[in-house]
Chain A
Amino acid sequence: MYQPPSLLEKWSQENNELVNKCKQQEAGGGAVSRDHRQSSLRWCSSEFHKLLRKIQGIPPHVDHSQLELAVVYNTCVCFTAQSQFSEAELLLKEATERVLQVTGNNADTSDPLVLWRAGLKSAGNTALHPHVLYLLCLQWALWLAKCQLENIGELQEQMSSLCEIVCDGVGDCSPSEAKGRLSKSPLLVMEPKRLTELLQICTSIAQGAEKLNEGRSSEALSDLQAASALPATRALVAYTHLLSGSCLAHMNRPQMALQCYKRALETDSRCVCALYRSMLIYRQLGNTQAEIQALRLLHSTLMLPPATEPVLGGIQPLSPSLLLSSQSLSRLLSVPSALSVLYSLALKCVLSGRVTEGVEHYLDLLAALHSEDQHAVDAEVSVLPRMLELYLEAGTALLFTRRPADCMAFCNEVISTTLELVPEKVVLEEPEEGIGGDARGLSVEGEDKVAMLLWAAAAYLLQGHCHTHLKDWKQAVTHYTRCINLLVKVHLKNRDFQPQIPAADVNVKHGKDLCTLQRMKGLSLAWRGISFTQMDQLREALRDLQLSLQAFPDYTGAGLWCGEVLWRLGRKHEAAACWEKTWSLTTQTSVEKLPLYLQDPQSGPLLDSVELRLRIQELGLT
């Protein structure tokens, strides 16, 4: 007589076949595309769900429960891997309720925490217990993925006993017994032990990030350091070191933080964030050489093709990225793009005197911006300075390396782009303290106009500098004049206007414009004056230098040359006074905060302070 196979047998077989298929697809997943992986995952989850519906179509039964829970586990893993969290959660809830039914308990509650406690208690010491624990693992994963860390905290006790049972296999007494049970128990798509390990370290990382965010750095640090000994992939272990480093940086221990970042990099060479954080620490410590080194490494690492994840015994369906989605963590793990790193590198090199290197980086950056497809560039533009500004900075760097012709080419590019857009007249309101940013009466368009004008003026200024470098004084005067002509189009609208640059730390854009304007005025006038001096037009020179000092009193170059002109004009005492006054100036505007192109040109005629002092001494003697 034909005897149909029992439901349990048949369904177990179906489950095991599905699991094997899933694993095969995952094992082959290294080669195939992401889309393929996604579609095979979708197929698996629908098949598991179908099987589960079959199993749950009959009333809960003790003999079937183990299989049922295993299939719930498999289905939920697939659902979770596809970020179908609510579906997975519903399945878990139903499964827990059925466990309660089967064990003869009832919990009339919708609170998942209460339900889980009841479920775990009722499964107690039965054969179901491990399977209920596996489901709890998934609940844990769901809470983690949804950043509901407080729920995980609530069930801390259950979770830790879960870890002990699942990971250490404390429950298994003799290996033979365990094996006998294993062969009968239905297969699972993801080893609960691996899942638990993943959850443990991911939870530690997420909690660490959360605590760090709340300012509880030392607490976070000890947790993270404990977590670094947990079994996990290199990337995750590196994260624990990285976050430990961030905690230490937060606690004002930069050297120890650097140690942690180093450990993170040693653990996982793909942990670029550690490199980035180290760079920030070096910057904070003022270690420019190390900072540049770190920036260079960071850039070359970011330029590497994205490394393919190593395949370890088949990719696990649940990826750490799914479980580490909290905002505070992603903020901690974010790394700027390769291009903005390159920009920082270029600027840093030029500012720290490694000009030749800086020029190379600037040219690389511009080439990359030109060659890269527009879409990628658009994403970059928001973090990078405007293109024209980059041209001006690159030009300045070229001038610093005594390549005036190249510099002029860049400036011409800027001028040709901006000239038609420069308005006839523009009003710049000085920010009034107390009223705040709202007082700015300029539209975005107007703001752009000011920027255009300033860029065009800066281009002329740079061209002037180029001619100065070439000792072509006439041309220099022409270009400085063009710069000045543009600058005077800006009208400052403030009743009690003072010819003073606002404090350097005014970070309102508007204040920055004003500061730029004044400094550029000072520079262009001063350098026109110096050019006049070279052409022996001393009166014009004196006028310009004095105007320059009015616009920008702190500029020592103007002060010294003003004295020189006075000296040549025979007003030696005035000259001496002028020099003395200039030397007494101590305020040094922070060079780093100014645009690169507003720096004092490093070429052109120079005055030797020692010689000047000698002259004063001689004057005093006579």
Chain B
Amino acid sequence: MMESVLSEDLYRNPHRLSHCGKTISFNCKRAPGTNDNEGSELIFCSLSFEREGNTFLKAADGAAVISRKRLAHVDIVKCKSVTDAHKRATAPCVLVIKKSEKRSSFQYSLLTLSSSNRLEPCVEFKLPYQMKGAVYILQGPTVLWRHEGGVLYTSPQAEGVRQVPIHFSHCVVGELPLHKGQVFVLGLQKLPEESTSQTLGYFVEDGQVFDGSVILPHLYISITQCILVVAADRVDGVLKCDVVAATSNRQLVYFENGVVKDVCQLPFEQPENIQVVNTGRYGSLFAVSFCEGHVCTIWKETFQIAALWSSVTSIHVDDFLGCGTDQMLLVFKDRVIALEEFLITDLCGISFSHGQDTEAPKTSPPPPENYLLTLKALESRLQSGLTVLQELQREVTVKESVLRQSVKALTDVVSEREPVLTQHEQEGLIALWDSDDESKNEALDDKIHDIPAVSSKPRIDKLWHRTTEGRMVVGVILTTDRSAPVTNVSLSILTDTGQCSRPAVIQTQSQVFWLPAACSSPSSSSSSSFSASTFPEPPAKKSKQHNAISTNDLNACRVAVTAVTKLTPLLNSGRVKCHVMLHYIQTPDAFSFMSNQRPVVLHCGQVALDIQNNLHTELLKTPQLIADEVREDFLSLLAVLDHWVFHIDSPEYSLGDINGWIQKRVGCKKIEVSPQYLLLNSSGPSALMLLNWHQITPFQGELHVHSSQLQMFQFLDSLLAYLPESCSIQPLKGAGEQPTDIKSVNKGGRTSEMLLGEYLVPRLPWKQISKAHHWKC
């Protein structure tokens, strides 16, 4: 009774493999009878599928005595069908272990089943320990296992147990489907000096070491549970291979030459083995088996899950039907001599099952799970079709667009159309330069000297000067009467008349600033526009009609006028003192000033040149200070720096808080003497920048930039990153040169041509600056 129960148990869940369309089971059992010399024997049973009966029938069976010792314990470790290198044919192999009574040594033997159905010993070896963990039977036949961090193997060719001479922290074992069987071990080798590790591969047959990353990327080694090399080839000695690997992150990953190609999320944990099922013209499947009897199949083409099964005892891939393509044999209930419950399918039309539907009455419909599986299979076929379709569609659209472009180009050529180039220069040049000005000015020049001072002449409040980088700034603050406003204000500098009989006029460039009234504090007048206009003074003319200024009348209380000149001529001529003359036109009536222009010259005073009187020292230190010194520095700075005005317009997207953005820039400070100006002093005094942002609506505004050109470009570049994409920046006013022509930046040598340029700039539709168009400074 006891005996029969035991043998029943033994017969259950045998080790099984598939070989040449048959399935072979192996089991160990005590030899019948209890004679002293009878030990353990290995039995096998080969079954082949019978289509008519929908069942497996016994094809052959047999037994071999493994041990004659009574007390020896024999177990099957693993069985697999592999290529025998010697015979050049696949043969079923089974690895058995004989444990000695004392359990001090373990005898392993690998047996192969010959074509004449005889079990023949192939390799025998003894180990002082029992193999633990994964054991591989690979082509050769080679037995490979891990022990204490080392990778060991043996085969008929190896003559004894050998160890891979590299120490791997993680390793992956696989074989290449090449002519000459190539069993390899991939692993991470710790580099002694560095904290990183490198991927190394080792071919067991010839001991060749190679870079493992051609098979698996470095980071995947440690998480790969099992791999299957789908295809491999050597081109000029370079290994190329397609690999699928199941990782501990529940993914099946497809690698092509070490590059991740595709990923499929797996539904189960702990993958154990991957097999490929070639279903013929329907393509291939990967069958991944997991611990605890789960199986998942994935289409190779779409890399989508095809079907899932659970509580599977074993899965085998072979041509069980003998139809020329592979099928999967899923065994659910197994005994040595018969398969009680199984399913043969290739998910492409072939499906034979046994045991599963005998339990349920035949009339009952197949379990819903089947529908699900079919549905999933169909779905994945559909998806693969869809991807092909999408690719074709994409191709069609590309072709269409190419065709359209070609047709357009062709029609352009035929109709001799050419891209029209806009030539802004031609639009703006005419009629802007009024040649009559010349004579008029000369007439005025003559009058200037003998015009007596008008009674209510502007009062000079302050005269100051600063020097900076080879230039001198002279500035005057005047108070004018509101009832008698002045226009056309400019300053000129005359050298001291000490030795020379005639005073020489020094070339200058004047600017006028409208200051808030002296009585009110500057901060309270933030609404009043503190605008500045620049205009140069040609050498031969002390006064010049400037349209820009004559349109404004100076009815504000206080005006600051500055003039900039080069320092070198002054120093060369040894003049250290010069006279500052104010030119203006007084108009008693604001509405009739055009008819009543009377240029007036006023002597403001003398400045003694002091090159120590450097600019913006005070201002730089304490921009938040409100003092005359600071104001003078600030005005001088405005006079010296180049000035640009940009109109920023974003028709669809509001600009947001530009002022806030500027203030958050590094080194940005508010200037208290004129709060609407911001001082940007990011990298030293040579890179000073004054900014004034005037928001007109939430969608447009004006930006005044006082700085060097390079800096202006740099600033605009970073501003562009902040501004909305649909925004346009239009220069309203340049510093006197064509802004795009950087070579002509030369403040000293101003000619009338330069002047012309200056007049043109505001009218030239300067190239719109958009984000797409990046400036190269």
Contact = CB atoms under 8 A, between A and B. Distances in A.
B657 interface: yes
Contact of B219 (A58, A237, A312): A58
A312 B211 CA distance: 50
Q: Which 3 A-B pairs have CB atoms at the shortest separation, nearest pair first?
A: A231-B656, A4-B258, A313-B725
Contacts of B721: 169
A175 B714 contact: yes
A432 to B, nearest CB: 59
B249 interface: yes
Interface stretch (B128-136, B259-267, B630-638): B259-267
A308 to B, nearest CB: 13
Given A58-B220, A312-B653, A231 B249 contact: no
Nearest to A2: B238
22 contacts: A2-B257, A3-B211, A4-B257, A5-B259, A7-B217, A7-B219, A43-B390, A53-B251, A54-B263, A57-B251, A57-B260, A58-B219, A58-B247, A59-B219, A59-B223, A61-B219, A230-B654, A230-B657, A231-B655, A233-B652, A234-B653, A310-B652
Contact of A54 (B260, B698, B717, B771): B260
Interface in B558-605: none
Interface in A1-28: 1-7, 10-11
Given A4-B217, A58-B249, A173-B666, A231 B257 contact: no
B263 A50 contact: yes
Given A3-B211, A312-B725, 13 more contacts: A4-B214, A4-B259, A7-B260, A54-B263, A58-B223, A175-B714, A229-B656, A230-B657, A231-B656, A231-B657, A234-B653, A310-B652, A313-B726
B693 interface: no
A175 B654 contact: no
Interface string B490-510: 000000000000000000000
A170 B665 CA distance: 7
B319 to A, nearest CB: 33
A169 B222 CA distance: 40
A237 B698 contact: yes
Interface string A171-188: 001010000000000000
A427 interface: no
Interface residues of A, number: 36
Contacts of B253: 54, 57
Contacts of B262: 50
Given A1-B238, A2-B238, A234-B652, A229 B698 contact: yes
B282 interface: no
Nearest to B698: A237
- Is the interface on chain B under 10, 10 to 19, 20 to 34, or 35 or more residues? 35 or more
A6 B661 CA distance: 40
Contacts of A229: 654, 656-657, 698
A197 interface: yes
Given A57-B263, A313-B725, A232 B653 contact: yes
Interface string A214-250: 0000000000000011111110010000000000000
A10 B259 contact: yes
Q: Is the interface of A mostly helix, strand, loop or mixed?
A: loop
Contacts of B771: 313
Nearest to B257: A4
A82 interface: no
Interface in B667-715: 698-699, 714
Contacts of B223: 57-59
Contacts of A173: 666
Interface in A35-58: 43, 50, 53-54, 56-58
Given A53-B251, A57-B253, A169-B721, A234 B699 contact: yes
Contacts of B390: 43
B699 A168 contact: no
Interface in A229-273: 229-234, 237, 267
Contacts of A169: 721-722
A509 B722 CA distance: 59
A545 B436 CA distance: 93
Nearest to A50: B263
A2 B247 contact: no
B776 interface: no
B722 to A, nearest CB: 7
B363 interface: no
B664 interface: yes
B48 to A, nearest CB: 41
A54 B259 CA distance: 11
Contact of A233 (B238, B249, B259, B653): B653
A231 B653 contact: yes
B259 A57 contact: no
A312 B259 contact: no
Contacts of A50: 262-263
A53 B214 CA distance: 22
B263 A53 contact: yes
A593 B722 CA distance: 56
B156 to A, nearest CB: 32
Interface in B78-105: none
A322 to B, nearest CB: 18
A4 B213 contact: yes
Interface in B388-439: 390
Interface string A317-334: 000000000000000000
Contacts of A310: 652
B265 A234 contact: no
Most interface-central of B654, B657, B699 (chain A CB within 10 A): B654
A247 B722 CA distance: 32
A6 B214 CA distance: 11
B249 A57 contact: yes
A483 to B, nearest CB: 60
Contact of A175 (B249, B251, B661, B717): B717
Nearest to A231: B656
Looking at B217, B238, B265, which has the most chain A CB atoms within 10 Å of its CB?
B217
A274 B301 CA distance: 57
B181 interface: no
A230 B718 contact: no
A11 B390 CA distance: 23
B257 A312 contact: no
Contacts of A175: 714, 717-718
A203 to B, nearest CB: 15
A2 B214 contact: yes
Contacts of A170: 664
Nearest to B220: A58
B724 interface: yes
A463 B724 CA distance: 65
Contacts of A312: 652-653, 724-726
A57 B247 contact: yes
Contacts of B240: 2
B248 to A, nearest CB: 9
Nearest to A172: B718
Interface string B214-230: 10011110110000000
B386 to A, nearest CB: 11
A232 B718 CA distance: 19
A119 B726 CA distance: 35
B734 to A, nearest CB: 23
B520 to A, nearest CB: 27
Contacts of B654: 229-234, 237
A522 B666 CA distance: 83
A228 B656 contact: no
Interface centre among A4, A6, A57, A228, by most B CB within 10 Å? A57
A53 B265 contact: yes
Contacts of B655: 231
Contacts of B219: 7, 58-59, 61
A168 B251 CA distance: 41
A11 B664 CA distance: 36
Interface string B712-740: 00100110011011100000000000000
Nearest to B401: A28
Contacts of B258: 4
